[in-house]
Amino acid sequence: MSLVLTGAEVMQVLDMDLALAAVREAFRAYGEGRVNMPPKAYLVLAQGDFRAMYGEIFLPEGHVCGLKWVNVHPANPLKGLPTVMAKVVLNDPETGLEWADLDGTFLTNYRTGAAGGVAVEVLSRPDSARLGVIGAGEQARTQIMAIMKVRPIQEIIICDCARTRAQTLRDDMAAQYPVPVRLAPDSRETALASDILVTVTPSEVPLVVRDWVRPGTHINAIGADAQGKQELDPEILKAARVVVDDWAQASHSGEINVPLSKGDITRDMIYGSLGEVVASKKPGRQSPEEITVFDSTGLVIQDLALGLAIFNRAQERGLGEIKDFLQLSS
C-alpha cells in the first residue's frame, strides 16, 4: 500500500522548520556514515535534463530508501512552468514495498533552502546581518526563508538579470519579513554589501570575483548543479574554507567542478563535507575574518529525510490517498 500525496497536500504539512530539522538530521547521518548514496545520474536533453537520485538513510525516526526523479528545464518559466519539477518515492528497505509516492517539487525547493540554512548555521558569523542573493527564482526564495530562521538578518539585497523577477521577489520578501529589502543593480554591489551571499543561478561563467568578497563573508553556492556550471571566481575558492555536500557529486557537477577540471584548485584545498561539520567531526568557521563557501549540489538523503517527515505528518492528519498499486491481497 502506498500513500499518494499531491503537491497541494504536501504543502499542507511542509514548512521551513520541518525542512530544517529533517535536512540537519540528514547531514548528521551523512557525517556519521548512516547513508548509502550513489552519485546522481543525469539524462541530458536538448532543452534541459533529468536527474535520477536514489539512496538509503538511517534516521532516528526510521530507516528509509527511495528515489527522486527531477528535471531542470531553464526555459520553462517562459511556458508558465516551473524550472524544476520532481517526484519522490519512499520504500521499505526490508521488503522493497512502496510507502509513499509524493510530488517532490515543493519538497525540492524547501530541502535546498534548508541545506543553505544548515550551512549558514555552522559556517557564517553568528552576527551576520546582511543577506545578498544573486538570482531571484524559487530557489532564492527558500534560501531566504531558511536563512531568516537561523541568523539575525537586518537587510536583504536581491540582484537578478531579469528585473521583473527580482522586483517580484523583493515585494514578496518585504511583505513577509520586517526588514528592508532592496534591489541591487549588479552582482558587484550585492556581494560587497553582504555578510552572507547566496548565488542561485544557472550560470556557466563566474558572476562574483574575489575582490568583491569581504573578509568574514559566507557564500552559499547553490546554482552550479551540473557539469560546466560555475558562479564564483576560482580565486574565491582558493581564499576560502570550502565545504561540499558530497565530494563525488560536487567534483563532477558542483561549484568546484570547473576549477578542478582546469587545475585551478585541487582536492586537498577542499576542507570537508557539511555532514562532517554538522556531526562535529570537523569544526566549522574558525575565525570572524575567514571566508567560507558551501558548495551545494543537492543530495537524495535530504529528499528522503524530508520526504519521510512529510509522509509521517500526512498520515497523522489523514491526508493523501492510499493506493494498492500491486493489488496485494490482505
Q: How many residues does the chain have?
A: 330
Contact 231, 221 (CB under 8 A): yes
Has 68 been annotated as catalytic? yes
Judge residue 196's burial from the number of C-beta atoms within 10 Å of its C-beta, 0-12 exposed, 13-18 middle, 19 or more buried: buried
Strand, helix or coil for residue 227 = coil
| Active-site pick, 40, 68, 229, 282 | 68
- Beta carbons of 243 and 120 less than 8 angstroms apart: no
- How far is the CA of 67 from the CAs of 4, 64, 97, in angstroms? 15, 10, 13
Over the Cα atoms of the chain, what is R_g?
19
Amino acid symbol at 299: L
Residue 30, helix vs strand vs coil? helix
What are the start-end ranges of the H helices in the chain? Answer: 7-13, 16-31, 105-123, 138-150, 163-176, 187-192, 234-239, 247-253, 257-262, 274-278, 300-316
What are the beta bridge partners of residue 59? Answer: 62
> Are the beta carbons of 2 and 311 closer than 8 angstroms?
no
CA atoms within 13 A on the CB side of 267: 6
What helix, strand, coil percent values describe the chain, rounded to 5? Answer: 40, 25, 35
Contact call for residues 133 and 159 (beta carbons, < 8 A): yes
CA 186 to chain centre: 23
Say if residues 219 and 206 touch (Cβ distance below 8 Å). Answer: no
Catalytic residues: 68
